[in-house]
Structure 1
Amino acid sequence: MKFSITKSLVAALFAIPFMCSMAMASDIGKVTKRPLPRFVSMKAVEGNVRRGPSLSHRIDWVFKRRDMPLRVTAEHGHWRRVEDRDGMGGWVHYSLLSGARTVLVEKDMLQLRSRANPAAPVTVALEFGVVARVGACETEWCLLRSGGFKGWAPKARLWGVAPAEVFN
């Protein structure tokens, strides 16, 4: 009995690095070699959302909002499985997507500030559902541009950036 338990324990210890590398590999897209999930935006004014990754699959619905942020969750050839803020999605051809970063405002009358500081002067307030372009993100704040205005907003009030994401 001791021998089989020891064998099982040794086998499990050797399997852990392999399982960890498999888990890490699943976080990288096989086509683009970019992280999954990741955020992109709609380049087109409208885009067909299909049940599967090809033109032969049925169109389930149509995204009709240019610059809408989407989360890419899978890749297959020229197709990306995406989802919106509500978790609705499907397969979209990559040519309809852009790497330009945008966010949806998740709080009504979200105040943009001149600096990434809650005490900084307010530059403008954005309504719930507004799509804004992202210039940069720090640990807790993102620099947004919308309607000719720009300012910093708390990251927790936005959909389209990951909580730990930092970029210029």
Structure 2
Amino acid sequence: MAAVISTALWADVGSETNLPIPRFVSMKASEGNVRRGPSLTHKIDWIFKHRDMPLQITAEHGHWRRVEDRDGVGGWVHYSLLSGTRTVIIEQDELTLLAKPEPNAPAKAKLEIGVVARLGKCSKTWCRLNASGYRGWARKEALWGVKPDEIRD
């Protein structure tokens, strides 16, 4: 019976890192091979070519992480290509960054769909972003790379 309880407790953490699965990370490298399996002998299906791109880790095996991008496209990458630095992709065209996490706050900048921004604090509905030197707040629902219920201090 203890083995069953133990299995249930570990179902949501990575077998290698004990960190939550799934979880968001970003590309550390400006280029990274995405393979069909967790080793150098597996075929390269494509290459990620965007430093800081947010990815979601869905599995772990040794030094390899199975990742997915915002389109659900995935594969295995070596952990050395990934960073714990959190970034998001803007999913709303002309998203307005606001000075405060309030709907009527002054605008600081507008971001195009697909822009990658560094993720800061997040409340229940707002996140602080930094994109190309512009800092401000955006509604969480307009971002990919942060969980809907995630709070960050």
Please classify the TM superposition score into its range, dividing by the shorter chain length.
over 0.9
Distance 2:60 2:32 in 1: 17
Structure 2 unaligned blocks of 5 or more: none
Q: Name the TM-score, length of structure 2 as normaliser.
A: 0.95
Runs of 4 or more, structure 1, over 4 Å off, are 17-21
TM-score by length of 1: 0.87
Q: Name whichever structure is richer in helix by fraction.
A: 1
Q: Does 1:151 align with 2:143?
A: no
Q: Is 1:27 aligned with 2:12?
A: yes
Match of 1:63 in 2: 48
Aligned match for 2:64, one of 79, 99, 102: 79
The structure-2 alpha-carbon separation of the partners of 1:47 and 1:18, relative to structure 1 and needing over 3 Å to count, comes to same
Note if 1:109 corresponds to 2:113. Answer: no
**Partner deviation per Cα, 1:46-83 (whole Å, 9 max, x = no partner):** 10000000101110110011100000000011000000
Question: Matched residues in 1 for 2:30 and 2:100: separation?
Answer: 32
Q: Which amino acid aligns with 1:125?
A: K
Aligned length: 153
Query: Bigger radius of gyration, 1 or 2?
Result: 1
State the SS of the aligned residue for 1:28.
coil
Unaligned runs of 5+ in 1: 1-14
Measured on the aligned residues, the alpha-carbon RMSD in Å equals 1.4
CA-CA distance at 1:119 after TM superposition: 1.1
Q: CA separation in 2, counterparts of 1:90 and 1:121?
A: 41
Question: In the TM superposition, what is the alpha-carbon distance from 1:19 to its structure 2 partner?
Answer: 5.7
| Percent of residue pairs bearing the same amino acid type | 61
